[in-house]
Amino acid sequence: MTQLVTQRIVTGGRTPRTRPAGSGSRLARALAHVPGYVLLIIASVISIIPFLWMIIASTHPTSALFGTPLPVLPGGDLWENLARLESEVHFSRVMVNSLGIAIVYTVFSSLISIMCGYGLATYRFRGRGVLLGVILVTMMIPMQVLLVPLFQIMASAGLIDTYQAVILPFLANAFGIFLMRQGFLDFPASLIEAARIDGAGELKTFYRIVLPIAKPQIAALVIYTFISQWNSFIWPLLMLNTEDNYTVPVALNTMIGMSRVDYSGLMLGSLLATIPLMLLFLIFQKQFVAGLLGGAVKG
């Protein structure tokens, strides 16, 4: 009591203010995160610069891209570059080709990966480990080793210069099967057993119970599968001979000549080719992130 009276006399009758507990530690923790935020901002700017340059370059003529100073703002040649791109490679046609091939491939390849992954994770049968090991080993085989035998198979089947030749050889994707198998390992087996007790068949259980719960993993698989097919270049280049059947990567490659390269057209075509990928990621963003992190937290 005496100490409190003395303290009030010293402070002129005012009760001294005390700093809230933990405010200093919160400030210290916030300051500790500043270097990390700075590094993230720098990395974001560095990663955005190529995309911004692609936008700027697609609105200028090719000659301006090699002049001094380099353009730093969009120009006024966007429609001229777009018209030239359409006349040289029929870009609208090849965009439709790529979309059709990527969508069909994504649907069937994802379905195969989901069903195979579900079977490997759920059913117990002899040789399951060996089968999984064989699937994983196929991921180590370089693509270049498969080109000649696959080309001979497609030629003997009469499928050269057809979309079937682009889609069929890679429908069974080893990485997709492994990804879904890992996702289904954490699937609650009690739900499957309850459905079987209620009289649901295997297909009904798979489509009505398993697929709705596995949406995050399926979204991650769909995005990966679509992007891999959309960006595929070597195999479509070997299979497709007619310009009207080209995909976007193959068509853009034809713009690179021996003596002249239309960089403005290439930049514009690359920019337009990224739009479907961006839309796909924005649509499935939440499911994609949840699918990637689904196996990281168990509880």
Average pLDDT of 23-46? 82
Q: Which of 80-84, 130-134, 180-184, 194-198 has the lowest mean pLDDT?
A: 194-198
Answer whether 161's CB lies under 8 Å from 240's CB.
Answer: yes
DSSP state of 293: H
b/e sequence 115-151, b meaning 16+ C-beta within 10 Å:
ebbbbbbbeeeeeeeeebeebeeeeeeeeeeeeeebb
User: pLDDT (tens digit, 9 = 90+) per residue, 190-246?
Assistant: 787 888 787 777 788 888 888 888 888 888 899 889 999 999 999 999 999 988 899
Instruction: Please give the pLDDT value at position 196.
Output: 78
Tokens of 43: 């990395």
Average pLDDT of 42-57? 89
Amino acid (1-letter code) at residue 162: T
Instruction: Please give the pLDDT value at position 168.
Output: 92
Report the chain's terminal Cα–Cα distance, integer Å: 53
Dihedral angle over CA of 38, 44, 50, 51, nearest 10: -140
Instruction: Please give the pLDDT value at position 5.
Output: 45
DSSP state of 244: G
Phi-psi region of 297 (alpha: psi -120 to 50; beta: other; left: phi over 0): beta
Domain boundaries, the chain: 33-76, 90-293
Instruction: Please give the pLDDT value at position 4.
Output: 46
Say if residue 279's pLDDT is above 70.
yes
Say if residue 23's pLDDT is above 90.
no
* Residues, the chain: 299
Answer whether 106's CB lies under 8 Å from 284's CB.
Answer: no
% of the chain exceeding 70 in pLDDT: 87
Say which CATH architecture domain 90-293 belongs to.
Orthogonal Bundle (1.10)
pLDDT band at 12 (very low <50, low <70, confident <90, very high): low
